[in-house]
Amino acid sequence: MPEMDVFEVTRIAREAAREQSQPVDVIGVVPGPSGEYAEILLFADGCAADPCVVEMGIFRDTSEADLRQTIAEKLRTHLKERHTWVT
């Protein structure tokens, strides 16, 4: 399967971020040293840590649906387990 470009990954990451219970913005997507790997940087608003930046690695050689699911699951897990939220 051909790898998605950075713009496609950014769009998919933004869509997955909008589905989260906490406000999350995509800061950017950086291609990794291997063609199919990329890092996604996100900012989570309302986190007790300042700044609250989430970094996740993904592989771009998958379907759009699988990539969206992977990003959403990683983001949900990260936000639930690693951050304290200001209420």
Domain that holds residue 24: 6-80
Whether residue 44 lies inside any domain: the answer is yes
Is residue 87 in some structural domain?
no
The answer to the question of residue 1 being in a domain is: no
User: What is d(CA 9, CA 3) in angstroms, rounded to the nearest whole number?
Assistant: 10
Task: Tell me how many domains the chain contains.
Answer: 1
Say if CB 56 and CB 44 are below 8 A apart.
Answer: no
Q: How far is CA 60 from CA 5, 7, 23, 44, 45, in A?
A: 8, 11, 24, 23, 26
Whether residue 51 is contained in a domain is answered as yes
For residue 1, the model assigns a pLDDT of 66
- Which 3 state secondary structure label does DSSP give 80? helix
Give the CATH number for residue 67. 3.30.160
Q: What is the pLDDT along the chain (87 residues), one digit of tens a residue?
A: 677 899 999 999 999 998 887 788 999 999 988 778 999 999 887 776 667 788 899 999 999 999 999 999 988 887 777 655 554
15 is a domain residue: yes
The answer to the question of residue 86 being in a domain is no
pTM (2 d.p.):
0.83
